[in-house]
Chain A
Amino acid sequence: MTARSGEDAAGVRGAAIGALPFVVALLFAGLLILLVGENPLEALRLILDGSLGSPDKLSDTIMVWVPLTLAAAGLVVTFAAGLWNIGVEGQIVLGAIGAALIAREVTAPSWILVPLTLLFGILFGVVWALLAGVLKTKGKVNEIFGGLGLDFVATGLTLYLIIGPWAREGIASTSGTEPFPEDALLPAVGDTRFSPLAVALAILAVIGVWLLLRGTRFGLKLKAVGRNPKSAFLLGIPTNRYILGAFAICGGLAGLAGAIQATGFHQKLVPSVSGGYGFLGILVVLLAGFRAIWVAPISAFFAIVMVGSISLTLRLDIDSAIGGVLTGVLVLFALIGSGLRDYRQRKRAMEAPPPESEAEPGGDAEPADAREATN
């Protein structure tokens, strides 16, 4: 099972987020809100107010932006290698578990403990991602299914820890572990959850990934592996090692995201610790056209929608899933929009009188098509 190209795997080339898909997605969500009998403009106002309206809300939004951006930045690397790292959810969860392990078991001053929890988060994420990588390179299991399996295992492991060895005194409930000790928590500003350190790490991750793919030999070779693993291998690039490298980088960033989720946002280990940011991160990267720099603003938009739509449930009779609907529709329309653009270009190219070409079935003649083979 070969992988397909990263950069244009989804056909999202060039400006992926044109204004049109954005408008259409907003209209679609608005229509749904009308359908349940509420005012879409009021909903929009509440979303903005609920995510940016007060220091508390703003800091929550920022603390959603951080893990989403970290996961998405990592996914840019695996996509560059042509990999669909569906296991990213599990890598976030393992990061949270790693951080929780340190937070629970180690007693040390904050300036030692905090870096240590983050480090263990990264470490656990790397290990989990490498498992998916080994399943792919050695076990020939497509990374999508290996990743899904590892996501299931991660979920099971969290539940086991929360109701088993790490259960709260007296009550075994799935609401989470005992809150972590103060010294293990990410230092935050005032009473909010806003952690400047977390934000700095997310920004560093985006810049790091951008530099890696743009200006290093590793990045260049990685993209070669993503575009055409066979030719890359024949040109002497140790394909498998690069695939594992991409997994490790993504797993590390996802693990960091999980650690920050646990020690910064929830301040304990909860069953849904990943927040679904792994899968959401895949949508972010698809919308970003696989470019690292775009990950930051798109994640910000997603974070605003996600946090804001929670307040919809409280104020209007609208389920908070409207946020997921809006982002999902947006990415779908952006994909289809870019597909339509290419489709029209192909049509035009065919109508223009090029030198008569032979019938070339199978699409093998076009390298872009061959690269998109998924199996």
Chain B
Amino acid sequence: MEATLATIVAAAAPLLFATIGETISEKSGVINLSLEGSLMLSALAGFVLAFETGNTWIGFVAAAIVGASFATIVAFGSITLRLNQVAVGFVLAILGIALSSFLGSGYTGKPGGPIAVPPLDIPLLSDIPFFGPVLFSHNIVVYASLIVVVLAWLYMYYTRPGLSLQGVGERPEAAHSRGVPVNGLRYGYTIIGGALVGIGGAAFSLDAKLGWSFLHTRNFGWIALAIVIFGGWHPIRVAIGVYLFGFLQWLALDLQDVFPDLTQVLPIMPFVLMILALVLVNADWLRDWADRHPRWGNLIRGDAPSAIGTHFSAE
């Protein structure tokens, strides 16, 4: 039980970075649909740079830069040029996948041992029974992923700039009339979000799924986008979604022993179930129930930022 939970917490780190990054971006009104490509390319960049320099953290910086660059293109295309966000993001997703296959072919199967994120038990806290092994016996990347969730939540809902962030995603006109630079903030949060996605990529290739292989982070970018919706654009609930997905993945792995015939099929099931969960949280009856029972309902109910995917121009 302890070991299982610890595994799930450790394995969730990359997706936490990616989903929180996307949540921040979407909260400001910009959908960065490029995740499947930017996650994969940043995973490659992180591994390659760390491998070539021998320094894990240079890999993380490189990955963050790749993620931020993709996000900058999305921001430029959708904010400045007013192109359709989905189109720009989708093309970048496909391009990122192709680029990572092209540039990464020489790094397939290279050993990542020496550049893996080193384990780091937190003194004292890691000795607490149960919570110690589950939460405090990982590495700095896993701790950082947990901190990012909490910080994003506090920032969004309990600080002034956080309220502005919500403002530009919900009511850009009103934010503008109060002197908030709508498009400037959208640029900033999209790029920050993209950098977090990039860090998530490096957290795959340098920690959770050490090394590089063809399509190394396959489908995780798409599932990250779905989890953001599942989590109702709320960092804590998004994190719960990530852990739920992690649990399903663990279950799929575990069931392979029970159903050896389905070894190839089971790993896909969590992706399927996660999308089904999306259907469920959108279901009318559940939404009605949530409206009638706000205390519990607010836990499951989440609406998209009203101005998501739209353009804003002050002229």
Contact = CB atoms under 8 A, between A and B. Distances in A.
Interface string B55-83: 00000000000000000010011001111
Interface in B275-312: 275-276, 278-279, 282-284, 304, 307-312
Of listed A152, A335, A373, residue having the most chain B CB within 10 A: A152
A369 interface: yes
Contacts of A153: 272
B222 interface: yes
B278 to A, nearest CB: 6
A140 to B, nearest CB: 5
A16 to B, nearest CB: 11
Contact of A336 (B31, B77, B86, B262): B77
Contacts of B312: 361-363
A342 B82 contact: yes
B24 interface: no
Contact of B86 (A84, A149, A329): A84
A4 B94 contact: no
A286 B311 contact: no
Contacts of B76: 336
Interface of B: 31, 33, 73, 76-77, 80-88, 90-92, 94-95, 97-99, 101-102, 105, 172-173, 176-177, 219, 222, 225-226, 229, 261-265, 268-269, 271-272, 274-276, 278-279, 282-284, 304, 307-315
Contact of A369 (B73, B263, B311, B314): B311
B84 A374 contact: yes
Contact of A152 (B83, B262, B271): B271
B272 A4 contact: no
A369 B79 CA distance: 11
Of listed B31, B33, B81, B308, residue having the most chain A CB within 10 A: B81
A9 B87 CA distance: 8
Contacts of A152: 219, 268, 271-272, 275
Contacts of B98: 321, 323-325, 327-328
A166 interface: no
Nearest to B263: A163
Of listed A139, A150, A338, A342, residue having the most chain B CB within 10 A: A139
B310 A363 contact: yes
A264 to B, nearest CB: 25
Contacts of B90: 84, 282, 286
Nearest to B304: A375
Contacts, number: 181
A361 B177 contact: yes
Interface in A329-349: 329, 331-332, 335-336, 338-340, 342-343
A110 interface: no
A342 B81 contact: yes
A350 interface: yes
Nearest to B31: A374
A373 B278 contact: no
B269 A359 contact: no
B275 A146 contact: yes
Nearest to B313: A363
B263 to A, nearest CB: 8
Which DSSP category, helix, strand, loop or mixed, fits chain A's interface?
helix
Interface of A: 1, 4, 9-12, 32, 84, 135, 139-142, 144-146, 148-150, 152-153, 155-156, 159-160, 163-164, 174, 279-280, 282-283, 286, 319, 321-325, 327-329, 331-332, 335-336, 338-340, 342-343, 350, 357, 359-363, 369-370, 372-375
A145 B268 contact: no
B83 A11 contact: yes
Of listed B86, B177, B312, residue having the most chain A CB within 10 A: B86
Contacts of A160: 262, 264-265
A324 B94 contact: yes
Nearest to A140: B282
B308 A375 contact: yes
Contacts of B309: 372-375
Contact of A328 (B73, B82, B91, B264): B91
A40 to B, nearest CB: 14
B245 to A, nearest CB: 13
